[in-house]
Amino acid sequence: MLGAAAKDSFADEAALGQALAELTARLGNKVVMSRPVREQHANVTTFLPNEPADAVVFADCIEDVQTTVRICAAHRVPVIAWGAGTSLEGHVNAPYGGVCIDLSGMNRILKINTDDLDCVIEPGVTRKRLNEELRDQGLFFPIDPGADASLGGMASTRASGTNAVRYGTMKDNVLALKVVMPNGELITTSRRARKSSAGYDLTRLFIGAEGTLGIIVEITLKLYGIPESIVAGVCSFPTITDACNTVIQTIQCGIPVARIELLDEVQVRASNAYAKLSLPETPHLFLEFHGTEAGAAEQAERFGELASENGGGPFTFAGKAEDRSKLWQARHDAYWSVLPMRPGAKAVATDVCVPISRLAECVEATKADIVEMGLVAPIVGHVGDGNFHTTLMVDVTDHADVAKAEIFMKRLVERALAMEGTCTGEHGVGEGKKKYLLAEHGAETLEAMRTLKRAFDPHNIMNPGKIVSL
């Protein structure tokens, strides 16, 4: 029934048992019900509780996914898609039970079209694996959320990361999808042509839908030639505001910076200790420029001039490839570097994004709040897009600590929304951000999202409890 998707509308125990029996009869030992496997497939990256599914299906092919969805649909059993388990907002939790479909075994690279700069892959391929396969052909896929996420998961959360300022997000880099719909039918959203105006943009409909409208089972991705020259380096600034002003001017001048990452002085201190860097303990930008030899050098030089005008610098090159790797490894290890700052606590990532003109103000106000509330929460950010994260250290066994963290996160989101920003730049909604969507979008827009969900998934079996509740 439309609009009635409380827990009661899902399969009761008998129907669930029937569904699991049918699944096992059809898929044999691809269906696993052991508790450790089920728990491992539920969310573990936040302080949200672990809510395991009733079974995990290890899918090998599109037919496995269709079989599972059809059986689950017939019995009103929830279906939760799982890629690599790196999501940060409880996307893979199963609050109403059901069946988790593990797509990590669907990890074939089906076709690389070097002339067209695209490839066709299964959703379980991870970004590192893809780039390893592409390297020999002089190609790469730029979207880099840090974690070695699956491309299906990255598409489903509209992921982005450090390279998005130049190469866009997942929404900009997917040409077409194959999707198993909530009734088990398979659709292809678009074709391999670089652009099309042939009807509704179904591709973008499923990107960022977090598996709530269907399950992505094949992806056609745009690729890029590995740049002839990559120049990376770091630049110190007296204040966050100086760094942010430099970012704004860099973007305004049209310098096509490939990465421009902010680390506040707290994060720099942590990274110095963890990654054996020896940076001055001030706000820093980590940068990368892609182009021809002359082009990348020119970009770096111009950036250096802007930094200097804003009281920053000098821009220090990471000349050798291994220095560059060390730099970005340190950036990606920000999460790990923070752990020793509060032993026993868990690192929880926040994720707001504001127009860049408001970035300095938003980051400075957030830092003031961190100090005032006595929190441990270094800041990193994909600042070319106005997107930043605090890595908030939380003792998840202590209710008062969790409550304090939630107050901080609520204030952070409200601050971003007041600046025309969003509650999530790239992590997605999942369970964690649902409560902010009304304030962000308003009731009418949220109702339009519900209309979409009801139309495609009238029984609300696809990842229920995520994005919008019916």
Least distance from C-beta 298 to a second copy, angstroms? 6
- DSSP assignment string, 237-257: -SSHHHHHHHHHHHHHTT--E
Residue 262 contacts residue 366 (beta carbons within 8 Å): no
Is the Cβ of residue 38 or residue 453 nearer to a second copy in the bound state? Answer: 453
468 makes contact with a second copy (CB under 8 A)? yes
Interaction between residue 198 and a second copy (CB under 8 A): yes
Q: In this structure, how many other beta carbons lie within 10 angstroms of the beta carbon of residue 417?
A: 16
Burial class for 89, CB neighbours closer than 10 Å (0-12, 13-18, 19+):
buried
Task: Tell which positions 31-90 bind a second copy, by CB under 8 A.
Answer: none
Point out which span in 35-43, 102-110, 221-229, 325-333 binds a second copy (CB under 8 A): 221-229
Q: What single string gives the DSSP state of each residue in 175-224?
A: EEEEEE-TTS-EEE---SSS---SSS-HHHHHTTSTTSS-EEEEEEEE-E
Residue from 271, 424, 460, 463 that binds a second copy (CB under 8 A)?
Answer: 424
Contact pick of 292, 325, 329, 397 for a second copy (by CB under 8 A): 292
Task: Kindly state whether residue 114 participates in binding a second copy, applying the rule CB under 8 A.
Answer: yes
Output the CA–CA distances (angstroms, integers) from residue 32 to 70, 75, 109, 143, 234, in the order listed: 18, 19, 26, 32, 48
Question: What part of residues 356-375 is at the interface with a second copy (CB under 8 A)?
Answer: 356-357
The tokens describing 443, both together, are 């009731």
Contacting residue, 421, 432, 464, 465, with a second copy by CB under 8 A: 421
Binding-site size for a second copy (CB under 8 A) equals 95
- The one-letter code for the residue type at 175 is L
Q: Does 209 bind a second copy (CB under 8 A)?
A: yes
Q: How far is the CB of 45 from a second copy (least distance, A)?
A: 15
Question: Which range in 60-68, 190-198, 326-334, 366-374 contacts a second copy by CB under 8 A?
Answer: 190-198
Does 158 sit near a second copy (CB under 8 A)? yes
Q: Which range, of 55-63, 278-286, 340-348, 383-391, touches a second copy by CB under 8 A? A: 383-391
* Number of CB atoms found within 10 A of residue 184's CB: 16
CA distance 318 to 330: 13
Amino acid at 399: H
Residue 146, interface with a second copy (CB under 8 A)?
A: no
Binding residue for a second copy, selected from 331, 332, 415, 433, defined by CB under 8 A: 433
